[in-house]
Amino acid sequence: MRQEKRELIDKVAARRAKVGVVGLGYVGLPLSMAFGEAGFSVLGLDIDARKVESIGRGECYFRHLDGAPLSRLVESGRLEASLDFSRAAQLDCVVICVPTPLTRQREPDMRFIVETAQALAPHVRRDQLFVLESTTWPGTTEEVVKPILESGGLRAGVDFHLAFSPEREDPGSHASTAVPKVVGGLSPDCLEIACALYASVVPRVVPVSSTRAAEMTKLLENIFRAVNIALVNELKMLCERMSIDVWEIVAAAATKGFGFMPFEPGPGLGGHCIPIDPFYLTWKAREFEMQTRFIELAGEINAQMPRYVVQRTQDALNARSQSLKGAQILVLGVAYKRDVDDLRESPALKVIELLTEAGARVRYHDPLVPQIGALRRHQLDMASVPLDDDALSSADAVMILTDHSDVDYARVVRQARLVIDTRNATHGLGGGDRVVKA
């Protein structure tokens, strides 16, 4: 093992190792590009033929990503994509970035990890490295992935290497390659090889004692966010009753510079991580007869925010002798966060449903989301309208749900009859009582 381990590390250092990325989504595609840009030959594997074909044409399917490096990499032959999992046998390192959603019963849905491991298992060969990156409950790499990959007879930590390294991508802001990477291995050798691989694409690798420790680290990071966002959302509701601007308070508190970290209130939690990942731990904790009360409470508060902002809209219309029923509402921004095109778990979808149920006529504008189709939990079919004079002045209320940079908020404040601002996007733009922070 020692000799083979050295050879693999040397291959990685010389960029002769062939790297595979399974799951070419929000995490896997930028990671494939990062490995390609670092000089590796990269094979992306996915079950989605449209993604594979798009990469084949050198075309990027995410609006928030710069497509130029992708086409360069494909053209130079450094990056290719395939549906054929038997090609995994040619790979030295395989990184798995498949989805980890919740089931309808809000329990971890391990289907994608299990199916991926099953598809890879027949092609596992000696001295390969497998790394799971999908966010998941502590123990997944050892309890779920390891036995499946070992089903062909080779043993993890002995014949091949296995590690876990959580993705810390912050879509629309930090490039994942600028963030240190936590890595946990099944054995010291597994850890060393996985660290060598990631050291080629990130500025700093943080080794931890086990795959479980690495899995738990990611959950702590996301739970920390979920709990702090819930705290500030609860304070927002209290501040509103007390006629205090919560954004002013957060900004003032942030000047302390230590012992405080600002979190922004909003219309609810969105994205594939923060609303979902904490419940992976809640589920696992039951095995240890523990209840994760902070997580449950944060979930409760954050889940009520879409209803809260709709209620505030109704109250603001009421104050102008208008009803929500029949009102024309223009929603500004439907992606779950600023400057991304990702709709997953976006609170805007819930807000639109609640508005529609209440009888409002809803339109939306989002420069990054031209269309909303049916999603897991929402059956919407809408297209973005242009943000022109007519859209702004004909709306009884304009609700800012996502504060994309590419929107002229001064114009929104000038032209809209009523603005419900859930993101403080109109800060400093005036508007008097036509602007309601919610």
Ligand X SMILES: NC(=O)c1ccc[n+]([C@@H]2O[C@H](COP(=O)([O-])OP(=O)(O)OC[C@H]3O[C@@H](n4cnc5c(N)ncnc54)[C@H](O)[C@@H]3O)[C@@H](O)[C@H]2O)c1
Question: Which of 183, 362 has the CB closer to ligand X?
Answer: 183
Nearer to ligand X, 48 or 353 (CB): 48
Nearest residue (CB) to ligand X, 99 versus 333: 99
For residue 336, what is the DSSP state? S
Question: What is the rounded CA–CA span in Å between residue 35 and residue 13?
Answer: 12
Which residue from 293, 295, 302, 292 is spatially nearest to 234, judged by alpha carbons? Answer: 302
Other CB atoms within 10 Å distance of the CB of residue 213: 15
Q: Report DSSP letters for 76-128, one per residue.
A: TTSEEEES-GGGGGG-SEEEE-----B-TTSSB--HHHHHHHHHHGGG--TT-
Q: Where along the sequence are the contacts to ligand X (CB under 6 A)?
A: 22-28, 45-48, 51, 97-100, 112, 115-116, 119, 133-135, 167, 169, 171, 272-273
In this complex, which beta carbon is closest to ligand X, that of residue 26 or of residue 40?
26
Cβ closer to ligand X: 152 or 431? 152
In angstroms, what is the minimal distance from the CB of 359 to ligand X? 34
- The whole-angstrom separation of Cα 220 and Cα 244 is 31
Query: Which amino acid, one-letter code, is at 101?
Result: P
State the minimum distance, in angstroms, from the CB of residue 2 to ligand X.
Answer: 33
Residue 116 or 302: the one with the smaller Cβ distance to ligand X is 116
CB of 159 to ligand X, least distance (A): 23
Per-residue tokens: 255: 């000047």
State the catalytic residue, choosing from 60, 93, 239, 273: 273
**Which residues, other chains included, contact 242 with Cβ-Cβ below 8 Å and sequence gap of 6+?**
none
Say whether 190 is catalytic: no
Kindly provide the b/e burial profile for residues 329-355, where b requires at least 16 CB atoms within 10 angstroms of the residue's own CB. Answer: bbbbbbbbbbbbbbbbbbbbbbbbbbb
Q: How far is the CB of 226 from ligand X (least distance, A)?
A: 13
Pairing outcome for strands 328-332 and 361-365 = parallel
Helices (H), 121-210: 140, 146-149, 188-199
Query: Least Å distance between CB 102 and ligand X?
Result: 11
Who's near 245: CB < 8 A, 6+ residues apart?
Answer: 239, 437
- When CB distances to ligand X are compared, the closest residue is 25
Nearest distance, CB of residue 202 and ligand X, angstroms: 14
Three-state secondary structure call for residue 160:
strand
Q: How far is the CB of 126 from ligand X (least distance, A)?
A: 23
CB nearer to ligand X: give 46 or 92: 46
The tokens describing 150, both together, are: 């070992």
Q: What is the amino acid identity at position 179?
A: V
The set of catalytic residues is: 273
